[in-house]
Amino acid sequence: MSAGSPAAGVIRVGVIGVGVMGADHARQLNTAVPGARVAAVADADPSRAQAVAADVGAAAADDPLSLIAGADVDAVVVATSDPTHAGLVRACVGAGKPVLCEKPLTPSLAETAELVRDLGESGAALVSIGFMRRFDPGYAGLRDAIRSGRRGAPLVVHCVSRGVSSGPGATSEYSITGASIHDLDIVPWLVGSPVSEAAWLAPRQSREADGLRDPQLLLLRTEDGVLATVETYLNARYGYDIRCEVVCESAAVSLAEPRRVLIDADLTRAGDYWPDWRGRFADAYRLELTTWVRAISSDRAPRGPLATVADAIAAAEVAEALIRSMRQGGGFVPTQLSRSVRP
Amino acid sequence: MSAGSPAAGVIRVGVIGVGVMGADHARQLNTAVPGARVAAVADADPSRAQAVAADVGAAAADDPLSLIAGADVDAVVVATSDPTHAGLVRACVGAGKPVLCEKPLTPSLAETAELVRDLGESGAALVSIGFMRRFDPGYAGLRDAIRSGRRGAPLVVHCVSRGVSSGPGATSEYSITGASIHDLDIVPWLVGSPVSEAAWLAPRQSREADGLRDPQLLLLRTEDGVLATVETYLNARYGYDIRCEVVCESAAVSLAEPRRVLIDADLTRAGDYWPDWRGRFADAYRLELTTWVRAISSDRAPRGPLATVADAIAAAEVAEALIRSMRQGGGFVPTQLSRSVRP
Amino acid sequence: MSAGSPAAGVIRVGVIGVGVMGADHARQLNTAVPGARVAAVADADPSRAQAVAADVGAAAADDPLSLIAGADVDAVVVATSDPTHAGLVRACVGAGKPVLCEKPLTPSLAETAELVRDLGESGAALVSIGFMRRFDPGYAGLRDAIRSGRRGAPLVVHCVSRGVSSGPGATSEYSITGASIHDLDIVPWLVGSPVSEAAWLAPRQSREADGLRDPQLLLLRTEDGVLATVETYLNARYGYDIRCEVVCESAAVSLAEPRRVLIDADLTRAGDYWPDWRGRFADAYRLELTTWVRAISSDRAPRGPLATVADAIAAAEVAEALIRSMRQGGGFVPTQLSRSVRP
Amino acid sequence: MSAGSPAAGVIRVGVIGVGVMGADHARQLNTAVPGARVAAVADADPSRAQAVAADVGAAAADDPLSLIAGADVDAVVVATSDPTHAGLVRACVGAGKPVLCEKPLTPSLAETAELVRDLGESGAALVSIGFMRRFDPGYAGLRDAIRSGRRGAPLVVHCVSRGVSSGPGATSEYSITGASIHDLDIVPWLVGSPVSEAAWLAPRQSREADGLRDPQLLLLRTEDGVLATVETYLNARYGYDIRCEVVCESAAVSLAEPRRVLIDADLTRAGDYWPDWRGRFADAYRLELTTWVRAISSDRAPRGPLATVADAIAAAEVAEALIRSMRQGGGFVPTQLSRSVRP
């Protein structure tokens, strides 16, 4: 069957966690992803589950575990708070159902490693991780440009991830495990070499980010020597702004600004920023979900850059090194210490 | 049922004409449009029909009419050469099947008017027209900005449609009815007023466009006085480049350049042009097909900006005026003469 | 003496008319133009003359004619209202002094032609015209790109000249002779062919431009067939915005946006527009004045693209054709009728 | 005397060192800087001195010291190789003549400190340093935006300085003292706080930069906590590319791309990079020289952001810390150790 063939049958998806992220997944699954429909939703807040269920024409499950066990659910999307991921993924694998778990797989390297060990090889194969930037046409274009061989070897990467404001209860560690984690995954994916050491630095802090070290500047070094700067600024106020530039020996490639319209008014020429990731990465989420659904429908369907538990462990290793660097006040920390845990 | 609800059942689509355009539609229907699958394809070239059928896992019909009549086809996409549209649309309506016909509905106003008269009101309701730019997020953003009321009234529109090269056998008239036709539809859709007169002008001609007046400069005036310049240059060589700016009383809004990646190399900073419409309007075609499939699945589904036969007639009226202007050597020609033919 | 040689002595310049334009010239002459200093200023408003004279360390002349006659003045800049230009230029030439007259040389073709005839060849050689766009690095870059021969022949030109608001008493004719005149000069200068016919069109009018047809759309056709669209919108409100694109057979070249800084704030990425021509064309004015001063200092100094009375007549011919087109309600009007008046 | 007043008399400038940099200064002084002319040039290569002297209409001095002593020279520009700066500056001050010395004042902190100590306060006042980026309209716009108080405090700065290729004999230390030095000066100038510590890192190295650590990544921390990343890549091949972004609490401001013309050709939209600093910073050099000449002409003329020996010491302190960091294999090194040497 070729890439153009239709999915055989419709995958009935259960979505656990229907906050902003999960509700967006549910809507995309029902309106933009071929071969899927949302069959059930669950949420810690029953009224939210009811509302989203009504909106997408699905059932509201009493609780996540009954959703996972339900005969009307073929596959599960997990978009709950980070600490609950491990238990839900275990349950999905226990029920033999494919699961797409939002990043991070778990909030810590130890827990991620333990989970992956417990899942075993066949269990781990059921799990995909929501590193959706790999599906963004911009990042894909960067990778193609680097891999073309016409630009020389990659030497330096500059990443910026800025948002309007951090959510309630965000911590300095969350900034790494919940936000920067995308860059920790994308840098080695782009340059084709794993991160071998990482360092954390604190710039002058914004006065509007109480209780949180924000912005943060991370440095990553890959095994083949590429150095990446990763600026994460959750309370940048001005907009949701994701940038990436890869400097190669004879060229530099970067993400273009993803604007649709320019407005000349009030003595400026201006393009809008999206307020959050939904607009910026709508295409990436759609393509990720489409690839995941197709991969479930057919063993022979290409999985493309869909992230695996091995990718989750790799990113968790870097996050762990960064948190150690943060706690010791900076300096490079190697990531290799934990390599033995890989499945 | 809300916007997030899934399509009930899968629409089995027949695609007639699987050249570059139709093959792209077939691939999008199978891989990116929820609730649809390609059931059959037909083409004047049987081997091309066989190849695309194999690629998308569909049957190759012996001929278009048997495809339309087939019990395995719920709805039809017509992407054949322009002169064949009318007959195929008649057959689809005769079979009571929804049809999405590529623009133009027919190559001439007279034929379009005759066809629409013959279809009758209920027949015409089965027909949608492939003015896909209305689904492009850029054009949609322009329209939203204009309609917001914060920019003052629209006064002037500047459109540019350039391509790498004209296809074999392209004529000066085809440049209008087959290429500029998109701008003839989009200008009144953007500013909310029909075109009342139009003029054709010939700039200095490219020496590489033998037998074809290329570039052409068209002027459109809407009923409320907006003046639009439309430059069409099919052999611009440098890339597929579509631009639009709407100048309002206190602001100007324009399409941003739709680039994903920038490359710094060889003493330049450069962004790529797509070589044709497939990359530039992939989103627009996907969203158009998605809306069309949903509208077929449910009477209550929103049709959004899906173009109708009335839109086809309006565009054909402007094209007719432009061809008259061309043949008389320029000058404004009114479009109102033919208004009586509207269904 | 090569291009790098210093001017011999300092040219003492008299500036007549020190409104916004003339005051800016005076300041540039004193602070940014080698080999010049402002010796005297005159203005219809004596207090304004006094103020600017004090600011630039020059004398305030009692009246323009005594300034022109003054032994302390080597050369004159005329930046008064358009109808006064002819008389002042006559006086300068009568005194044998080089004069840089702001565009237009006079408000009408007839008056321009009469003036030039009266000046005679040697008198005309003393007169330069302030078509400063030719000195703008952007326009110069466009011309170089076109003339390189690597892009094919020019076919179409798109010009836009927008401002924040028209001055008091601006008329529809002034929009052509005082504002669009820059485009009437620059189009033939860019493409290397004179304008042979021109047409005037009125888009829907801004409600904020009382008494003035604004915006206007002009069409110019050159002798070798290039067609130019010129949109002039004096009350565009949003900023001073000058654009130009030249479409050649195999490439299109355009002015880049002349921004220095980008600001990410308030959910937008924005670059500022200048509120008027002073910031936008500061370089062009500086380079024009520098070239003019050097040309006065040495017969052998290159005059570069400094405009002559022949250029003033050529632009006035096009303006005259456009005003005729306006008065007759549109349509192309040839410019050749008046060719005999050239000196 | 106000800002608009002309310089009294012409400053006769001697230029020592007329390689690419010095020859450009000489040409600018003669053609674009009011109130100056090049009276004499000197160079280690007598034939080069002769050639440039002929080009700018000046005398070729037998040697630098006779140029400095010459009665026909009022002020001196030093653009020789870095190690010769100190001796030439001493000679200029000994002769009581103002001198504009290209950066760095000397190649090391120790030598800079010794020189400044020897010059004494009145001698130091005769010396200006060629940190011309402060005169670049882009950097000036950045500083204005930051200082406006509307953007919140500056937190992070990202600088990039890339060139096409390093000159012959460039060393890893030279990359800091001769190239990055501009960023070491501009960062504290922008954010208004001195650099208190600095760290050096080596990304993966370009294979085309033999003998030189290239690119380098520098980290600067200012006294008030701002963290700056400075990427210097002398052999970036693709163009001369200077970038700067300052991230503030509620906004980010950055240099716009300084392009004049865009070219659509060969399936790309492209803007040219300059091959070196001459085009990129032509305005900055011109404005720096103009300010310097005016300051010499009049004690009351504003010196604007003209850099002093104190600025040279501050930058040398940071360079020294970076070289220590490089030699010790990375890590932050404080700059305060040497603060006592300030004059």
Q: What pLDDT digit, counting tens, does each position of A140-157 carry? A: 999 999 999 899 999 999
Asked whether residue B139 falls in the same domain as residue B266, the answer is yes
DSSP secondary structure string, A189-255? HHHTS-EEEEEEE--SPPTTSTTS--SEEEEEEETT--EEEEEEETT--S-BEEEEEEEESS-EEEE
Q: Can you tell me the distance from the alpha carbon of A56 to that of A33, in angstroms, rounded to the nearest whole number?
A: 13
A4: pLDDT strictly greater than 80: no
> What CATH number does residue A112 fall under?
3.40.50.720
Structural domain tally of chain C? 2
Tens of pLDDT, residue by residue over B191-236, are: 999 999 999 999 999 998 878 999 999 999 999 999 999 999 999 9
| pLDDT value, residue D169 | 84
Q: Do D268 and B241 touch (CB under 8 A)?
A: no
Q: Which residues in chain D have Cβ-Cβ distances shorter than 8 Å to A203? A: 155-156, 225-227
Task: Report chain C residues touching chain A, CB-CB < 8 A.
Answer: 164, 237-239, 241, 257, 259, 264-273, 275
Residues of the domain holding B139: 135-276+314-341
**Least CA distance to C224: which residue of chain B?**
B204
- Specify the pTM: 0.96
Chain C partners of B156 at a C-beta cutoff of 8 Å? 203-204, 215, 217, 231, 233
Is residue A6 in some structural domain?
no
Distance CA A23, CA A40 (A): 12
When scoring D196, D204, D230 by the number of chain A Cβ atoms within 10 A, the one with the most, hence best to mutate, is D204
- Tell me whether residue D45 is in a domain: yes
- Please give the pLDDT value at position A209: 86
Give C56's contacts in chain D (Cβ within 8 Å): 2, 4-6
Task: Look at C138 and D261 and tell me if their CB atoms are within 8 Å.
Answer: yes
Question: Domain for residue C100, yes or no?
Answer: yes
Yes or no, beta carbons of C238 and B250 under 8 Å apart: yes
Identify all chain B residues contacting D164, using CB atoms and an 8 Å cutoff. Answer: 267
D216 lies in the same domain as D120: no
Partner-chain residue, chosen from C153, C158, C203, that has the shortest CB–CB distance to B155? C203
Same domain, C105 and C86: yes
The residue whose two tokens read 């003046």 is B227
pLDDT class of B2 with cuts at 50, 70, 90: very low
Mutation target vs A (from B1, B2, B5; most A CBs, 10 A cutoff): B5
Question: Quick one: D225 and D332 in the same domain?
Answer: yes
Residue-averaged pLDDT of chain B: 94
- Tell me the pLDDT tens digit for each residue of C202-229: 999 999 887 899 999 999 999 999 999 9
The pLDDT assigned to D337 comes to: 55
Residue B277 CB burial class (10 angstroms; 0-12, 13-18, ≥19): buried
Same domain membership, residue A257 and residue A214:
yes
Name chain D contacts of A250, Cβ cutoff 8 Å: 208, 236-238
Same domain, B125 and B146: no
pLDDT the model gives residue C301: 85
Within this chain, do residues A187 and A255 fall inside the same structural domain, yes or no?
yes
Residue whose tokens read 């000069």: C185
**C22 neighbors C84 (Cβ within 8 angstroms):** no
Q: Which subunits count as partners of chain B given 3+ CB pairs below 8 Å?
A: A, C, D
Residue D6 reports pLDDT greater than 60? no
Chains A & B: contacts with CB separation below 8 Å? 134
D291 is written with which tokens? Answer: 């300010």
Over residues B262-284, the pLDDT tens digits come to 999 999 999 999 999 999 999 99
Mean pLDDT of A270-294: 97
The residue-averaged pLDDT of B231-248 equals 98
Taking the CA atoms of A131, A132, A138 and A141 in sequence, report the sign of the dihedral they define: positive
Mean pLDDT of B68-80: 98
- What local confidence, expressed as pLDDT, does residue C167 receive? 86
Residues A200 and A336 in one domain: yes
Please name the member of C164, C257, C264 whose beta carbon is closest to the beta carbon of A269. Answer: C257
Whether residue A21 is found in the same domain as residue A117: yes
Q: What is the CATH number of the domain that holds C265?
A: 3.30.360.10
Q: How far apart are CA A185 and CA A162, in angstroms?
A: 17
- Percent pLDDT > 70 in chain D is 95
Together in a domain, B239 and B294: no
Q: Is residue A3 part of a domain?
A: no
Nearest CA in chain B to C202: B227
Is the CB of B253 less than 8 angstroms away from the CB of A259? Answer: no
Helix, strand or coil for residue C215? coil
Rounded Cα distance, C49 and C62, in Å: 9
Chain B positions touching C217 (Cβ under 8 A) are 156, 227, 229
ipTM of this complex prediction, to 2 decimal places:
0.94
* Per-residue confidence (pLDDT) for residue A8, from 0 to 100: 52
- What's the pLDDT at C209? 86
- Residue B190 in any domain: the answer is yes
Interchain pair B55, A254: CB under 8 A: no
Give the closest-approach CA distance of A158 to chain D in angstroms.
Answer: 10
Do C208 and C289 reside in the same domain of the chain? no
Residue C222, Cβ neighbours under 10 Å: how many?
22
Which one of D249, D264, D269, D281 makes the best mutation probe of the C interface by having the most chain C beta carbons within 10 Å? D264
Looking at residue B317, what is its pLDDT? 97
Q: Which chains touch D (3 or more CB pairs under 8 A)?
A: A, B, C
Residue D266 placed within a domain: yes
pLDDT beyond 70 at C274:
yes
- Give the list of residues 6+ apart from residue C127 with CB closer than 8 angstroms, or none: C89, C92, C93, C98, C99, C101, C105, C119, C308, C309
Integer Cα distance of B109 and A176 in angstroms:
62
Residue C73 forms part of a structural domain: yes
**C219: enclosing H helix or E strand:** strand C216-222
Residues A335 and A225 in one domain: yes
Q: Going along A33-97, which residue ranges are E strands?
A: 36-42, 59-60, 75-78
C60, part of any domain? yes
CB pair distance less than 8 Å for B153 and C207: yes
Using 50, 70 and 90 to split pLDDT, how confident is the model at C49? Answer: very high
